[in-house]
Amino acid sequence: MMKKQLAGILLAVLMISGCSNGQGDGGSEAANKPAEAVKKQERKEELASSSTELTPPEGLKLKADMEGVTPSTIEIPALDINTTIEKVGRLKNGQMGVPEGMDTVGWFEDGAKPGSPGNAVMAGHVDSKTGPAVFYKLEDLEKGDEVIVKDKDGKTLKFEVTGKEKYDRKTAPVDKIFDYSYGSKLNLITCTGNFNRDEGTHEERLVIYTELKADE
């Protein structure tokens, strides 16, 4: 789902960038410059493209700062949550998998990493046959609450809640939740609404939207 969509977006971006950098009207102008000047200009552009990446509206940032982290733990102080993160992929029906544990959180590893440009997505169970699960109180989060993600080496990223929405499970806006976006975002998902016993799932999905906080 996401990788194919992202591949298409990135391919289109690369094709546009290629046109703007090279062959059109600018190509004939470059051909008239002395060869040495052209080489210097090409080397300058190569160095620039290898060290920075444009990410509106923040401007130029080092690529190393945009790669994100492979998450290991997640903490949500307002809900007294501090737990480990599992890697989950896609099910045979194309939907995002869920964590095996009732008290752990699943990160969709086919998507964005937390801290990189785009929508990183994590999911957790709301309840089980024995009682509440890790995201039972997720709906209690409010704007400004923190979500803290760490990798295995202790690198810490802090996200801030910006909003929350409930969607019918069959019509949830997959593009908005999973697809690429400018800025570094982390979306938390759990089930909500009435439980459909025939299909073994709740009728709605709750999504908490968060964005990476600036370095303090």
Structure tokens at 58: 């923040």
Number of domains composing the chain = 2
Q: Could you report the per-residue pLDDT of 154-207, keeping only the tens digit for each?
A: 999 999 999 999 999 899 999 999 988 889 999 999 999 998 888 888 899 999
**pTM of the entire predicted model:** 0.70
121 and 161 belong to one structural domain: yes
Does some domain include residue 64? no
Which residues on adjacent β-strands are paired with residue 168? 204
Beta-carbon contacts of 23 under 8 Å, excluding residues fewer than 6 positions away, are none
Would the CA dihedral through 82, 90, 176, 180 be positive or negative? positive
Asked if residue 29 has pLDDT above 80, the reply is: no
Transcribe 67-118 into DSSP letters. S---EEEEEEGGGTEEEEEEEE-B-TTSPBP--SSSSSEEEETTSPPTTSSE
| Domain membership of residue 37 as a residue range | 2-54
Does some domain include residue 178? yes
Structure tokens at 207: 């999504």
Q: Could you report the per-residue pLDDT of 60-70, keeping only the tens digit for each?
A: 444 445 689 99
**Ranges 40-54, 143-157, 197-211, most confident:** 143-157
Could you give the count of Cα atoms lying within 13 Å of 204 in the half-sphere of its Cβ? 9
123 and 191 belong to one structural domain: yes
Closest CA to 167 of 136, 192, 130: 192
162 and 92 belong to one structural domain: yes
Structure tokens at 197: 């016993």
Residue 57 to residue 182: CA distance in whole angstroms? 8
CATH for 111: 2.40.260.10
